[in-house]
Amino acid sequence: MDKETIGIGRRKTAVSSVRLRRGNGVINVNGRSLEEYFPLELQRDAVLAPLKKFSDPSKYDLVIRIKGGGKEAQAIATRLGLSRALVEENEEIRGDLKDLGYLTRDPRKREREKYGRAGARKRFQFSKR
C-alpha cells in the first residue's frame, strides 16, 4: 500500500481527520460522498481549495472523518486538515498555503453563558416598576 499522510483540523467544536493517499480522486466523508455530505458548492470549494490550488484533485483519494460542529465549521476544519496533510507530503507549499490563510487555526470559540444572564452577553428584561 502507498504512503498515507494524515492531517487534523479543528474549528469551533468541529474536528476533522483527513487521510491523503495517492489514488484516482475518490473522496469519502463519514462513509458518504463529498457531494452528499456537503450539499453546498461553496462548502465543497472551501474543502478542496488547497488541493485544487497546489495539485490535481484526481491524483489523490481522501478519507475524511468529521465530528462535532455545524457544516460550515466542519468544512473549514476539513480544509485545515487537508492543508496540513499536503504540507506533510510536500514541505515546499507551506509558505503559499500560509499566505492564503489555509494553515491558520481559527481560535474563535462560542462564549459560555454567564449566571444571571439570558446568554453570554444578553441580559434578562429590565423592569423599572
CATH level 3 topology of 4-100: Ribosomal Protein S5; domain 2 (3.30.230)
How much is the pLDDT for 58? 87
CA gap 114, 109 in Å, rounded: 15
pLDDT at 42 over 60: yes
Question: What band does 61 get if pLDDT is binned at 50, 70 and 90?
Answer: very high
- Those residues whose C-beta lies under 8 Å from the C-beta of residue 39, and which sit 6 or more positions away, are none
What is the average per-residue pLDDT within 21-45?
94
- How many Cβ atoms are within 10 Å of 10's Cβ, its own excluded? 18
pLDDT at 117 over 80: yes
Q: In what order do the strands lie in the sheet with 14-22?
A: 4-11, 14-22, 60-67, 27-29, 32-33
Mean pLDDT of the chain: 93
CA gap 35, 17 in Å, rounded: 18
DSSP state at residue 59: G
Question: What band does 54 get if pLDDT is binned at 50, 70 and 90?
Answer: confident
